Amino acid sequence: MKQEQIKTIIEKLGKEYPEARTELIYSSPFELLVATILSAQTTDKQVNRVTAGLFKKYNKPEDFAVLSEKELEKEISSIGLYRNKSRFIIQASKLLIEKYQGFVPDNREELMKLPGVGRKTANVVLACAFKQNAMPVDTHVFRLANRLGLVRSDKVEEVEEQLMKLIPEDRWINFHHSLIAHGRKVCKARAPLCQNCILADDCIYYKKKRGEINDS
120 tagged catalytic: yes
Rounded alpha-carbon distances, angstroms, from residue 3 to 78, 107, 150, 207? 45, 30, 10, 18
Would you count residue 192 as binding ligand SF4 (CB under 6 A)? yes
Distance from C-alpha of 166 to C-alpha of 141, rounded to nearest angstrom: 14
State yes or no: residue 148 binds ligand SF4 (CB under 6 A): yes
Minimal distance, residue 204 CB to ligand SF4, in Å: 8
- Beta strand residue intervals within 19-175, DSSP E: none
142 interacts with ligand SF4 by CB under 6 A: no
Q: Which of residues 38-97 bind ligand SF4 (CB under 6 A)?
A: none
- To the query of whether residue 56 is one of the catalytic residues in this protein, the response is no
Q: Distance of CA 120 to CAs 107, 112, 210, Å?
A: 13, 9, 33
Residue 58 phi/psi, 5-degree rounding, is: -135, 125
Quote the least distance from Cβ 9 to ligand SF4, whole Å.
Answer: 9
Q: Which stretch binds ligand SF4 (CB under 6 A): 69-77, 83-91, 116-124, 193-201?
A: 193-201
Q: Are 31 and 47 in contact (CB under 8 A)?
A: no
- Asked if residue 1 binds ligand SF4 (CB under 6 A), the reply is no
Residue among 120, 170, 201, 202 flagged as catalytic: 120
Residue 27 phi, psi (nearest 5): -130, 10
Q: How many CB atoms lie within 10 A of CB 158?
A: 13
Cα 215 from Cα 207, distance rounded (Å):
9
Q: Is 183 left (phi over 0), alpha (psi -120 to 50) or beta?
A: alpha
Interaction of residue 193 with ligand SF4, rule CB under 6 A: yes
Please identify, among the stretches 26-34, 57-65, 154-162, 184-192, the one whose residues bind ligand SF4 according to the rule CB under 6 A: 184-192
Active-site hit among 12, 138, 155, 185? 138
| C-beta closer to ligand SF4: residue 1 or 112 | 1
Nearer to ligand SF4 by C-beta: 142 or 206?
Answer: 206
User: Interface with ligand SF4 includes 147 (CB under 6 A)?
Assistant: yes
Positions annotated as catalytic residues are: 120, 138
Which residues make up the interface to ligand SF4 (CB under 6 A)? 144, 147-148, 186-187, 192-194, 197, 199-200, 203, 205-206
